Amino acid sequence: MSDAGQPDGVAVSIRGLNLGFRTPRGPALALRDVSLDLGRGRALGLVGESGSGKSTLVSAILRLLPGNVERLSGEIRSGGEDLLQLAPERMRQLRGTRFAMIFQDPMTALNPVFRIGTQLVDLQRARHPRLPRALLHERAVAMLRRVGIPEAERRVHGYPHEFSGGMRQRVMIAAALLAEPEVLLADEPTTALDPTVEGQIVRLLSALRAEMGGTMVLISHSLALIGELCDDVAVLYAGVVVETGTVREVLEQPLHPYTRALLACEVGADAPRGVPLRSIPGEVPDIARLPPGCIFADRCALVIEACRAAQPALRPPGEASAAGAATAAAPSGPSPDGPVPGNPTADGLTPDVAGPGAAIPGVAISSAATSAGPASGVLAGDAPPHEAPLPADAVRMGRGDTPRNGTIRRGDAFRANARMAACIRI
């Protein structure tokens, strides 16, 4: 442990986070006992269906929450501070310095009445209060160039409406990087873009991460994108983290039936024509009326009676729970290790989709982004070091992570979140 209860090598440590909204239908629990670590220099992907609480989790880290939050408990530790306990002024300081955010829709984040250059200069003030304006302008132009804005010297004088959607998202990325954040939070940064521009932005984010290292949370509905850009994954369902692990573990060997179902719904570029898109039967439960047992029970092909008793806790695979012991004796239902002839498959969708280990359509996991680790929780020795020398003029992310030799090592022999799933049948 390092300072104030925050594990070593962890940029943000979340423990027992509960967040509830006041709604006309009564209290609605959007995050339920969430515990996650964001490893320094690592990228954590947050996945889950719409309404699963991904944006709420990131908003809680930044403490940018709507007025109808009626319950907020637990801890979010970063830099030795509990963010939930900080005075509003201190929290304001951290936004745009320690944390920066890339929003899904750049138009809502960029001010339409100010020139791009003015906005990029002003946001650097928090980090560099004494640098002359001309130098901040130069840095803004250099960063626009770096994120692929053509004629950056001229375009820096333009207004947001003069940029295309893809260009605006590049400007948002430039803005986030100019803040030199220790932690970059990206909430579906490519969802509003067409596939061609999305591909460009993904490549850009990937290149910037390789170049600058840094710590990132990436929210996306696309598991392919998560596989491309992230080291670790957390799967959220109705405000509960149901599975964690490295990208390779979770995408190649999913444990939780919900993760398997999500993977089975992923559409690959090579998907055959005319085959209907898969979806998970049923609906995400109403967070104002959560069931007492497993929140996925109503949609799970593996459900048994014991599942409805209590929400299973996250635990490592194979570590027996009381309820799991009960399932060992239970004869009903298919094996979670694979489809049983004549029974629904573990993903609960169609029988041609295999369980753990199945190839994932459209998910290409680059070895640079992933490495399965042994059960001890330490990455295997074959993990690529991800060393990239920092260009002298580069704006550095995660400066606290820069080791003595001046390079950033991404995900060095460290693993923030152990392999876990919240299902009594793993």
Ligand X SMILES: Nc1ncnc2c1ncn2[C@@H]1O[C@H](COP(=O)(O)OP(=O)(O)OP(=O)(O)O)[C@@H](O)[C@H]1O
DSSP-assigned letter for residue 63: T
The reply to whether 287 sits near ligand X by the rule CB under 6 A is yes
Most distant pair of Cα atoms in the chain: their distance:
73
* Closer Cβ to Mg ion, 54 or 409, answer by number: 54
Query: Residue 50 CB, nearest distance to ligand X (Å)?
Result: 3
The pair phi, psi for residue 336, each rounded to 5°, is -70, -10
Query: Residue 279 CB, nearest distance to ligand SF4 (Å)?
Result: 17
Rounded to whole angstroms, how far apart are CA atoms 141 and 151?
9
The pair phi, psi for residue 82, each rounded to 5°, is -90, 110
Rounded to whole angstroms, how far apart are CA atoms 297 and 305?
9
Quote the radius of gyration of the chain (alpha carbons, Å). Answer: 22
Strands of the sheet containing 10-23, edge to edge, are 26-39, 10-23, 69-78, 81-82
Torsion angle in degrees (nearest 10) through CA of 386, 390, 391, 396: 120
Count of residues interacting with ligand SF4 (CB under 6 A): 13
**Residue 53: which of ligand X, Mg ion, ligand SF4, none does it interact with, CB under 5 to 8 A by kind?**
ligand X
Rounded to whole angstroms, how far apart are CA atoms 188 and 405?
34
73 CB-near residues (< 8 Å, 6+ apart): 16, 17, 18
3-state SS, residue 82: strand
Helix (H) or strand (E) holding 210: helix 195-212
Query: Residue 109 CB, nearest distance to ligand X (Å)?
Result: 15
The reply to whether 279 sits near ligand X by the rule CB under 6 A is no
Torsion angle in degrees (nearest 10) through CA of 363, 268, 254, 57: 80
The reply to whether 346 sits near ligand SF4 by the rule CB under 6 A is no
Query: Residue 46 CB, nearest distance to ligand SF4 (Å)?
Result: 19
**Residue 175: which of ligand X, Mg ion, ligand SF4, none does it interact with, CB under 5 to 8 A by kind?**
none
The reply to whether 62 sits near ligand SF4 by the rule CB under 6 A is no
Binding mask 37-56 for ligand X (x = CB under 6 A): -----------x-xxxxxxx
**Residue 425: which of ligand SF4, Mg ion, ligand X, none does it interact with, CB under 5 to 8 A by kind?**
ligand SF4
Rounded to whole angstroms, how far apart are CA atoms 322 and 353?
30
How many angstroms separate the Cα of 121 from the Cα of each of 98, 116, 139? 17, 9, 8
Query: Residue 289 CB, nearest distance to Mg ion (Å)?
Result: 21
Binder of ligand X out of 15, 18, 23, 86 (CB under 6 A): 23
Residues of span 238-267 touching ligand SF4 by CB under 6 A: 256-257
* Closer Cβ to ligand SF4, 13 or 327, answer by number: 327
The reply to whether 296 sits near ligand SF4 by the rule CB under 6 A is yes
Query: Residue 57 CB, nearest distance to ligand X (Å)?
Result: 7
Encoded amino acid at 193, one letter: L
**Residue 300: which of Mg ion, ligand X, ligand SF4, none does it interact with, CB under 5 to 8 A by kind?**
ligand SF4
**Residue 23: which of Mg ion, ligand SF4, ligand X, none does it interact with, CB under 5 to 8 A by kind?**
ligand X
**Token pair 């027996």: residue:** 320
Binder of ligand SF4 out of 312, 339, 355, 361 (CB under 6 A): 312
- Report which of 114, 108, 178 is spatially closest to residue 147, judged by C-alpha positions: 178
**Residue 287: which of Mg ion, ligand SF4, ligand X, none does it interact with, CB under 5 to 8 A by kind?**
ligand X
The reply to whether 303 sits near ligand SF4 by the rule CB under 6 A is yes
Choices 8-16, 21-29, 403-411, 415-423 (CB under 6 A): range interacting with ligand X: 21-29
Binding mask 45-64 for Mg ion (x = CB under 5 A): ----------x---------
- CB of 378 closer than 8 Å to CB of 415: yes
Residues near ligand SF4 (CB under 6 A) are 256-257, 294, 296-297, 300, 302-303, 307, 312, 423-425
